[in-house]
Chain A
Amino acid sequence: MALNVWKYASPQTFYPLAGRLVPWFFTLAAVLAVVGLYIGFFVAPTDFQQGESYRIIFIHVPAAWMSMFLYIVMAFWCAVGMVFNTRLSFMMALAIAPTGAMFTFVALWTGSLWGKPTWGTWWVWDARLTSELILLFLYIGFMSLHAAIDDVRRADRAAGLLALVGAINVPIIYFSVKWWNTLHQGASVSLSRSPSMASTMLTAMLLMSLAAWMYAIAVSFVRVRAIILERESESDWVHELRSAAA
């Protein structure tokens, strides 16, 4: 079993594997999303306080969770790459980043649209949203640093170090912002806290989160395949791939 794992650490063997898995993950994502949205919109009841606007949580919360989860996964692959010096690990991290940033943006946007009918303003400086904003900056920093360095190997490792520094900082930043938020806020209500959730709401939210996760894996695999082709374009196996496909 251990031998098999290391085999797929090579871009050459991972490329076809990822290609075979992508359709499955997309299918899973679609199915889970359809079921989740159905339950969220057609089964879960209207919220007593927020009316129908609360239904935004079925996209907001999964996006927020994925944005944080993907950053951790990205940092994990950076760490693996730096310790084991495996090219594919860095490629995987680079593949995850744009999707993570996308989810962060969606979390911010949907959070804002949820906040307006609920609290009356388009932006709420609550701890979660503010931390999401900072997370977006961290993703952008990672991608910008990588893009700015011409030497791919140096870019991988510099951005990798940055991701790790960011990962260590995220809890510190989150707790600082949380503290700041409770200090400055009069009424301490936050978008993240919901009174008691009906179980149907929770089910829908979990299903949507799983859907987002499957989607993220699928998209990351598609992107990493592109990165692999771009970086390994000179190598023999890519040439063979091209001539086999031609």
Chain B
Amino acid sequence: MNWGSAQAFFAMGGYALYVWGAYGVAAACILLELWVLHRRHRTLKRDLSRRDADGSSGQT
């Protein structure tokens, strides 16, 4: 184990801003990507079922 306490872990030897800034943005990017994809699929589902409801061979 490297860290004496949870506090030491979060402090990262004084480099907390850099280390957590780096990992934080990376995590945010990943979450954003997943969320955008989730929304895309949800919109698709909605649009496709709406098209089916209106009658197939979708003529808009």
Contacts and interface: CB of A to CB of B under 8 A. Distances in A.
- Within the complex, are A and B direct neighbours (CB within 8 Å)? yes
Interface of A: 41-46, 51-53, 55-56, 59-60, 63, 98-99, 102, 105-106, 109-110, 113-114, 116-117, 215, 219, 222-223, 225-226, 229-230, 233-234, 238-239, 242-243, 246
A116 B22 contact: no
The 4 closest A-B pairs by CB, nearest first: A52-B13, A53-B15, A110-B22, A52-B12
Size range of the chain B interface in the assembly:
20 to 34
Interface of B: 1-3, 9, 12-15, 18-19, 21-23, 25-26, 29-30, 33-34, 37, 40-41, 44, 47-49, 51-52, 56-58
A52 B19 contact: yes
Contacts of A105: 29
Contact of A114 (B18, B26, B51): B18
A222 B49 contact: no
B25 A109 contact: yes
A226 B19 contact: no
A42 B3 contact: yes
Contacts, number: 90
B25 A110 contact: yes
Q: Could you tell me the dominant secondary structure of chain B's interface residues?
A: helix
B57 A234 contact: yes
B48 A233 contact: yes
A209 B54 CA distance: 47
A63 B48 contact: no
Contact of A113 (B2, B18, B37): B18
B52 A246 contact: yes
B25 A230 contact: no
14 contacts: A45-B2, A56-B18, A56-B22, A59-B23, A59-B26, A106-B29, A109-B25, A110-B25, A113-B22, A219-B34, A226-B41, A226-B44, A229-B44, A233-B47
